[in-house]
Amino acid sequence: MSIGDKISNKGEELQGKAKGGVGEATDDKDLKAEGKGDQAKGNLKQARREDQGRLQFLTGTAADQRHAPAGAALARSLGSTQNQ
């Protein structure tokens, strides 16, 4: 995941916290809900990017290939244990 993606996702999360705080302070339920939604969206994007990185590592398609063969072997072994 690029640093720009991390910053963008964290920014979205913080923007949601701010909206939620303003909604709480002004007793605006809609703004509070919108803030929670923005927070959740930022968190989901961050989790998705992290999962993509893990998947690339396990399948050997990661940009950093030093550990990819071990990751691919682990993925194969996990796949074989799940089928049993």
Domain boundaries, given as residue ranges, for the chain:
3-82
**For the whole model, what pTM was predicted?**
0.59
pLDDT tens readout for residues 3-53: 888 888 888 889 999 999 999 999 999 999 999 999 999 888 888 888 887
Contacts made by residues 23-26, CB under 8 angstroms, sequence distance 24+: none
H helices of the chain, in order, are 3-26, 29-59, 68-82
Of 39, 10, 7, residue with least CA distance to 24: 39
Whole-angstrom distance, CA of residue 48 vs CA of residue 40: 12
Inter-residue contact 21 to 57 (CB < 8 Å): no
